[in-house]
Chains A and B, each alone.
Chain A
């Protein structure tokens, strides 16, 4: 009986545990333990803005039904912090000094919010939004506040802004970039989303970072910006992205760059230690660049593959799209995958906007490397799959821009993905 230990109960940790247990899907066999410093069963981080808005309670966030861990025979140590890893002895140390031995260890420690790094960041009333606890604290603070400043125009910042607006707060979003969602959208796509957010009553200030979170007698008064402007706020949410949580790995002497470094089988530099999810660095399928990704879908995929590898069912990881997002603001759905703008020569950008919908594709050497869909996200998955599979799309540009294109246009690349029946020759020929 092998001993598997998983640090982290998020998307990657959960997917790994389930993969190790395998098709049997029930208790028995290997010993699987999940440790998490959060006190809850696994929940959906993506949904916590709903807690801020007061729309969702914890039950609505849970990812698995009650009794799930027991039914699969997972041992859980929730609310327990791991303080160190002794990789030579295949042991981890918990904060109470207890040691846990493992045959295979998964680091699924996730990421933590990037700090604003300005004076006053520790003031009461200044929050980040990463955990369920963060969300409940913000919800409580919002009861007392009438206006809020959100720092950062990324997905978390904007979702937080919408949630606070739903509670009736006056909300201003301070964005350093020239447009919101700069990682997910180009300027034109962002404008459409910004218009929808503005219609909800959210204000924007661009090209600015906070210089200080001002407090008076232990109370948050507001935000001073780089240009000296002052914004009154009883509540600040900092949404400047996340950084991989690598402390344990680094202290254990495991190779770390921006995130934990892993090989194709998601193994770290320490024998028997794997890593998956937001804590590690992966190479992007389009750019080949290594970076942390902080994407739910990637964490699930890596967690599953790490679990299979840990269980001895060799499953190489081919890399993923580190940029793959969907969201909806004010009735405007958004989806983007891969690059959002051309990166110099050799790239081609084509776009079409009609009836409030904007669709842009980015090509290189006849292959799709990026897609931005705003207002109408139909067939978004086909774009993502084409980018992932490096399919040649030359000649199908009108279809790609018109959303009248499906997997059948790319039978070789896509149609057999699920082991489906053979496609007719006429379709095969279309692709060549």
Chain B
């Protein structure tokens, strides 16, 4: 009968879930069971709540209502709902990057000393790319210019945002322009989507979808801005070696989890923690302060400081269940409101830090850029106090850890490749793709979703693709999944990689003095850092003198859940990538929308959606998309079966 009960592939998560059952504590998995059955109208995108004549629901079987009160059909309702999700995702990512731009601006004006750029080279490189002068200007001057240019991208303008114009290949910009999908500004397009989807504006499903793609391109701009500004302020990541998973928590240390998305918070906490080690030891914590990461904040501090990632968004409640977590410091996005309730039983301090993101039951310590270091110290003090109160209480820390090599920014990757060919760093990558040692590249992105056994789709797809010589990159919670299962390690390359892939990763690793291969999956950062993968793709495309939509590069979000993921998935398609989704997005109520997104869009942008919940079939479809692209470039192709034997 059915599948065996499996909530997570991660043994540490399973141990904690068993603990939750014993202690009578509800987690996301329990609440999901309580939600079943979930409403089919919502699942299919056929419920409209955009006006108070509704909620209206369209009967997908056709013998109930065929239109809402206003006359909106299934196609209209589904398309409107979908692009509102894109707008929400764009609002989130762009809120994140706007926050970074404001911090950089404040530093340039001398008001936020904590956010002095750690990488002036990147500051000047980004400025030059944006068309700003850098010669002879002070860092403050350039930073102000970059910050203001970034902030200008939000408002409506005669031309698309600079972070779109200066990062995408010309072919992409032309294709998007032809479709009418170049946004006039980031905030402007979020606002436009809310406008066009309100009662009685846009009813044409195709027009709505184009509006959604425009929103997704704005989301891309926001993500790229987020990556660039974080690199400028906090430094360009380079490879770090550390451990992942709950086993890194220590009974005798003050354990502080950093959770959320924006490094503006986590970076100052990391700094404060390094200054306050002694204080923790004096309070009786022999292990001192032990910082750990959750979600994308976890990725940010992993790749810049080697802070171990221990959980993803779906499993964010589980670290608390160890009884050993003294504080969880959060900013925004993917932070479950359940945290204080779970924490109640264990004394973990849940500390919210953003004015627009409070949770009842949490301690709120608002972070201001001007006074961030003091606030970070305050946070650490609270954690130490929680540790003192916790001492002597039993803890349940799963033993599982896995080795992680993370932090492959675009710059790092190019630098690593340049060890093989200093004059033309991309040549080794391009030659191996052409020669077939690397069949193609897959970027794993997105979340964990309670509807999929945690990490199962990532692991199954990656295992199949690795043995077929596909180079894999990962960001966000996808990267977290691979981290906790040892896929971000050279050992995984030895175990899973096909011969061609193994040879290439080993050559790069050894040329860089690693004494072994690069990890099987290359960790590129947080979810905004999907932009790094586009930069790599754009560079490779330029080197091959084609557009991105001809490269054997595919994106996959096999366990996605958020509106942000819908936005990213859509811009991946807009960038020309076949994009796999491991769950059905809420569009099944409209054949028009399904056909547009999985078929017709291919003719206009080259990218398209592949929806396949079965991970093995998904791997096969992703591989087929890679082979189709290889054939298009006139490269040798492999069949699925043949590739397996190779």
Contacts and interface: CB of A to CB of B under 8 A. Distances in A.
Contacts of A351: 21-22
B392 interface: no
B255 to A, nearest CB: 26
Interface in A382-418: 392-399, 401-402, 404
A365 to B, nearest CB: 13
Interface string B36-71: 100000000000000000000000000000000000
A392 B1 CA distance: 8
Interface in B1-16: 1-5, 7
Given A402-B34, A404-B36, A354 B3 contact: no
Main secondary structure of the interface of B (DSSP, over half): loop
Given A399-B33, A402-B34, A404-B33, A354 B24 contact: yes
Contacts of B7: 398
B33 A398 contact: yes
B26 interface: yes
A358 B29 CA distance: 17
A350 interface: yes
B583 to A, nearest CB: 19
Contact of A404 (B2, B4, B21, B34): B34
B204 interface: no
Given A399-B33, A404-B33, A352 B21 contact: yes
Contacts of A353: 24
Interface string A329-363: 00000000000000000000011111000100000
A172 to B, nearest CB: 30
A350 B33 contact: no
| Most chain A beta-carbon contacts within 10 A, residue among B3, B5, B30 | B5
B321 to A, nearest CB: 14
Given A352-B30, A354-B26, A354-B30, A395 B1 contact: yes
B103 to A, nearest CB: 42
| Most chain B beta-carbon contacts within 10 A, residue among A352, A392, A393, A430 | A352
Nearest to B29: A398
Contacts of B29: 398
Contacts of B24: 352-354, 358
Nearest to B24: A353
A174 B3 CA distance: 47
A350 B21 contact: yes
Interface residues of B, number: 15
A399 B32 CA distance: 11
A258 B618 CA distance: 63
Contacts of A86: none
B2 A395 contact: yes
A402 B36 CA distance: 10
A401 B30 CA distance: 9
Contact of A395 (B3, B21, B30): B3
A394 B4 contact: yes
B1 A402 contact: no
A431 B1 CA distance: 6
B37 to A, nearest CB: 8
Contact of A394 (B2, B21, B34): B2
Contacts of B1: 366, 392-396, 430-432
Nearest to B4: A395
Nearest to A354: B26
B5 A398 contact: yes
A353 B2 CA distance: 25
B31 to A, nearest CB: 10
Contacts of A397: 5
B449 to A, nearest CB: 16
A297 to B, nearest CB: 28
A353 B345 CA distance: 14
Contacts of A401: 21, 33
A399 B30 CA distance: 10
Contacts of A398: 5, 7, 29, 33
A396 B3 CA distance: 9
| Most chain A beta-carbon contacts within 10 A, residue among B2, B21, B26, B29 | B2
A247 B21 CA distance: 50
Contacts of B30: 352, 354, 402
| Most chain A beta-carbon contacts within 10 A, residue among B1, B3, B29, B34 | B1
A431 B33 CA distance: 19
Contacts of A394: 1-2, 4
B2 A396 contact: yes
A86 B26 CA distance: 64
Contacts of B21: 350-352, 401
A352 B33 CA distance: 12
Contacts of B26: 354
Contacts of A354: 24, 26, 30
Interface of A: 350-354, 358, 366, 392-399, 401-402, 404, 430-432
7 interchain residue pairs of minimum CB distance: A395-B2, A353-B24, A402-B33, A395-B1, A397-B5, A394-B1, A354-B26
7 contacts: A351-B22, A354-B26, A393-B1, A395-B1, A396-B1, A398-B33, A430-B2
